[in-house]
Amino acid sequence: MLAMNYRGPYRVRAEQRPMPEIKHPEDAIVRVTRSCICGSDLHLYHGMVPDTRVGMTFGHEFTGIVEEVGPLVQKLKVGDHVLVPFNIACGKCNFCKQGLYGNCHESNPMATAVGGIFGYSHTAGGYDGGQAEYVRVPYADVGPTVIPADMDPDDAVMLTDVVPTGYQAAEMGGIKPGDTVVVFGAGPIGIMAARCAWFFGPSRVIIIDHLDYRLEFAQNYAKCEAYNFKFMKDPVEFLKKATDWYGADVCIDCVGCEAEGNTLQTFSGRVTLMQAGAATALQWAINSVKKGGIVSIVGVYGPPFNLLPIGNVVNKGITIRANQASVKRLLPRLIDHVQSGRLNPKGLITHRIPLEEISDAYNIFSSKLDNCIKTVLIPPSARS
């Protein structure tokens, strides 16, 4: 089968690889119909995530048709077209039972701080991902969800990560009617977080980035205010002024470890890797939120540590909420939003690229070429 093959930072290729096999009685093998490149895949692509091994296949956002099921799989059958949440969850451990499907205790032996994630390094369990023609899907009765007949497959693939992560970013913000919400990062997740924030009734949603084309897209898609921090003397000061010198009620970090905008953070986090990436957006979020405000984090950071103004968190009495999205918990609500036309996830997709051209697809997304917002890969078997 054709699959993506990671060869080192900024180097990937598509090549023929062995078919995946059922390894556990609750596994399924899925023939991929759509697969996305996520902004967090770029952290792997840029060599920022420890234990990313050469030869691995990335991809944690995918849909596909069930080709084979293990003997203990009861809910799925061969031929079902499913969307597969990016988290691998057993559904039985205490964390899954409490709805924390992103924190499953039975899917990642390599690290305890994160549950299993498809195609996201050995730090997240060592699973090959969905940027391939076929993929092994563990706990097939738990995560995979049959795509409703009337749903566009492009909408479905966006429900595996982008939409739930954006929605949960807003949900974790505990937004109250009338609040001012600031979203850092106008990538696909940030745009979705800004769009979903409106579901909770704020009076203002502001998005901050440094790329004009993304800000313009966000403004149109999420109906929010958009500002470019490149043209600000100081983003924190700007946001204080924009909120009557009070601070935002809720700040959301949708950037993670590859932020721009602060020389010290960039040098220590991205150039020398002395910390787990540049935490510029999170620093701005902490310093821009009001006293007693809430900072919600869905941006991805590496495991060792980051330089942050934790003293300000204490002195301002800030609540920090963060997690990997609990996709399975959120799916029923989000499917309803999509089916009723309130959300248009496929509107984020700007590029549809054959899997064979994966090297170009990564470069286009990583280098922000051709006004790229979101890339979907189509395997050859899904085109015929």
Give the end-to-end CA distance of the chain in Å, rounded to a whole number.
15
Contact (Cβ atoms closer than 8 angstroms) between residue 200 and residue 171? yes
The closest alpha carbon to 157, from 60, 79, 75, 253, belongs to: 60
Q: Which is nearer to another protein, 25 or 148 (CB)?
A: 25
Q: Which is nearer to another protein, 112 or 384 (CB)?
A: 112
What is the nearest approach in angstroms of another protein to the Cβ of residue 291?
14
Q: Report the alpha-carbon angle 260-265-270, nearest 5.
A: 75
| Residue closer to another protein (CB basis): 81 or 163 | 163
Paired tokens of 263: 């020389």
Q: Alpha-carbon distance 277 to 251, whole Å?
A: 20
Which of the 8 DSSP states describes residue 148? P
Which of 25, 380 has the CB closer to another protein?
Answer: 25
Rounded distance between C-alpha atoms, residue 23 and residue 162, angstroms: 28
Phi-psi region of 16 (alpha: psi -120 to 50; beta: other; left: phi over 0): beta
Q: Considering the complex, what minimum distance in angstroms separates the CB of residue 30 from another protein?
A: 15
Both tokens assigned to 281: 């957006």
Of the pair 48, 81, the CB lying nearest another protein is at: 48
Instruction: Give the nearer residue to another protein in terms of CB position, either 18 or 79.
Output: 18
CB of 83 to another protein, least distance (A): 20
Question: Minimum distance between the CB of residue 194 and another protein, rounded to whole angstroms?
Answer: 11
Q: How far is the CB of 152 from another protein (least distance, A)?
A: 17
127: helix, strand or coil: strand
β-bridge mates for residue 158, sequence order: none
* Closest approach of another protein to the CB of residue 25, in Å: 6
